[in-house]
Chain A
Amino acid sequence: MDTTTKKIVLPGEEIDLQGMKQGNGIYHENGKYYAYQLGMLQFYNNYVNLIPLSGKYYPVKNDKVIGKVIDIAPSFWILDIKGPYPGFLHINDTPWKSGSGELNKIMNTGDTVFAKVNEITESKQIWLSLKDNGLRKLEGGHIVSVQPTKVSRIIGKGGSMVNMIKEITGVKIQLGQNGIVWIDGEPDKVLLVIKILKFIEDQAHTSGLTERVKEILEKAR
């Protein structure tokens, strides 16, 4: 890892690339480099990247997201995936078969799926798919939302944070990259997980978070 400092930058702030290459979230004008949005600078593998600290979910191919059916067309569902654009799920990209006009018998408005971003067209149509391991319609459980920019913190290094939470509470957790989280378990444990998620969101910028979360979980056990 060739890291130096991680600095908070504001939109329009000039960035010194320190001889590295321009990565994500940085624009240039007249030979100078500037921050494109509020974020944290990361110097990594000879690239300078800006990691957003706030903002909506912006879909990237192969992201796994949790979506809510908000409308049904003859051969596809329209889902709210909490980004600037809805997601579309075509019947052919699901394990199900159906004659046209019967999609609501499989999934209706208000139903929830764990899906993958399959394709993003030039005109920003987001096509989803259920054809991969673990992708499915979600049944039972509860839904909470977190800031999409905090999802990586909730996952933790190699899944360490979320796995620890699952292990200690016995609650099933499915994280969508878009900040939608599905949880299922005993009501008091679900409540505990909701509190932990809020805690991680609030404290995402602080150190030793995994240890502190562990402490809270152990205490509640």
Chain B
Amino acid sequence: MSRSSDEIVYGLKRDYLEKISSGGNRIDGRKFDEYREIKITTNFVTRAEGSADVRLGNTRVLVGVKIEQGEPFPDTPNSGILTTNAELIPMASPTFESGPPNEDSIELARVVDRAIRESKMIDLDKLVITPGEKVWVVFIDIHVLDYDGNLIDASTIGAVSALLEAKVPASKVGQEDFQLPINHIPVMVTMAKIGSNIMVDPSLEEEEVATARISVATDENGDLVAMQKGLSGSLTVEEIFKAVDTSIEIGKDFRKRVFGR
């Protein structure tokens, strides 16, 4: 009871969303491949090396990037380090609880991390201070402020935006500060399955009744760099191929429209 009462879905809401989806409709009037409005404010936290305040519809995520000196991993002595963390703080939703990261926040952080790492967005080889001894560590911290669905995409957009503007504080080691070296730009597109339909950028209402979820990240070549299937329902192989195609399409538009690249 209590906190979990917000997690119990109105049965008739589930039926209604399934029913209208079979006629091609979504509850907020969007088309299946239509994203909610995106607003990004970069450099929101001037104390961070990079930051972005992202609003995706009514979802709001703040991402901060800190870049500090650290020791390289023994197996990659000539490479900087990327680390991603997400906090689903109780401010953002009556269903989030305080405490150490749970499986939802860990999955969120790892999926975002995968898109950035596997697309080779950051040129980690250029983040070495003293080979084998000292490298730059890039910390991506995702702070969810307002939860209205699709945290994976909102957080990825935030992380990419914050990294694009991040500066390495090399003046701390007697060099000149430099822009974080960027090679690629990943775009993540998450879709939800309601009834037998797949729709992009699910709102909270849609997430609550979705049976399956799939996130696909692509790079500017249209290559796939990361995927995650979520929730307990299944997807057909055809549905997955369709989701991949949708992600590639939307990725192209996004890279231009949202990141100007």
| Chains A and B directly touch (beta carbon < 8 Å) | yes
Q: Which residue of B lies closest to A188 (CB)?
A: B25
A187 contact from B4, B10, B25, Cβ within 8 A: B25
Q: Contact string, A128-145, partner B, CB cutoff 8 A, digits 1/0?
A: 000000000011111100
Q: How far is the CA of A112 from the CA of B20 in the complex (A)?
A: 19
Q: How far is the CA of A111 from the CA of B14 in the complex (A)?
A: 11
> Do B1 and A191 touch across chains, with their CB atoms under 8 A apart?
no
> Do A110 and B8 touch across chains, with their CB atoms under 8 A apart?
yes
- Whether, in the assembled complex, B29 has its beta carbon less than 8 Å from a beta carbon of chain A, the answer is yes
- Whether, in the assembled complex, B171 has its beta carbon less than 8 Å from a beta carbon of chain A, the answer is no
> Do B16 and A80 touch across chains, with their CB atoms under 8 A apart?
no
Chain A 104-123 residues near chain B, CB threshold 8 A: 108-112
> Do A143 and B10 touch across chains, with their CB atoms under 8 A apart?
yes
- Given known A-B contacts A70-B1, A187-B25, A142 and B8 have beta carbons under 8 A apart: no
- Whether, in the assembled complex, B126 has its beta carbon less than 8 Å from a beta carbon of chain A, the answer is no
Nearest CB on B from A79, distance (A): 9
A23 CB contacts on chain B under 8 angstroms: none
Count of A interface residues, CB-CB < 8 Å: 23
- Given known A-B contacts A187-B20, A191-B27, A138 and B12 have beta carbons under 8 A apart: yes
B1 contact from A71, A140, A141, A194, Cβ within 8 A: A71
Q: Contact string, B14-28, partner A, CB cutoff 8 A, digits 1/0?
A: 111100100101011
B23 contact from A80, A182, A187, Cβ within 8 A: A187
Nearest CB on A from B34, distance (A): 14
- Given known A-B contacts A70-B1, A71-B1, A86-B1, A191 and B29 have beta carbons under 8 A apart: yes
> Do B11 and A112 touch across chains, with their CB atoms under 8 A apart?
yes
- Whether, in the assembled complex, B31 has its beta carbon less than 8 Å from a beta carbon of chain A, the answer is no
Main secondary structure of the interface of B (DSSP, over half): helix
- Whether, in the assembled complex, B13 has its beta carbon less than 8 Å from a beta carbon of chain A, the answer is yes
B10 contact from A68, A78, A188, Cβ within 8 A: A68
Q: Work out how many contacts link A and B, with CB atoms closer than 8 A.
A: 53
> Do B16 and A142 touch across chains, with their CB atoms under 8 A apart?
yes
> Do A86 and B5 touch across chains, with their CB atoms under 8 A apart?
yes
Q: How far is the CA of A187 from the CA of B12 in the complex (A)?
A: 14
Q: How far is the CA of A68 from the CA of B13 in the complex (A)?
A: 11
> Do A140 and B15 touch across chains, with their CB atoms under 8 A apart?
yes
B23 CB contacts on chain A under 8 angstroms: 187
A110 contact from B1, B9, B27, Cβ within 8 A: B9
Q: How far is the CA of A80 from the CA of B6 in the complex (A)?
A: 8
B12 CB contacts on chain A under 8 angstroms: 111-112, 138-143, 182
11 further A-B pairs in the complex, CB-CB below 8 A; given A110-B10, A142-B27: A70-B4, A78-B1, A111-B12, A112-B10, A112-B11, A140-B16, A143-B12, A187-B20, A187-B25, A188-B25, A191-B28
The 7 closest A-B pairs by CB, nearest first: A110-B11, A142-B16, A80-B5, A70-B5, A187-B20, A187-B25, A143-B10
Q: Hey, which bits of chain B sit against chain A, CB under 8 A?
A: 1, 4-6, 8-17, 20, 23, 25, 27-29
Q: Hey, which bits of chain A sit against chain B, CB under 8 A?
A: 68-71, 78, 80, 86, 108-112, 138-143, 182, 187-188, 191, 194
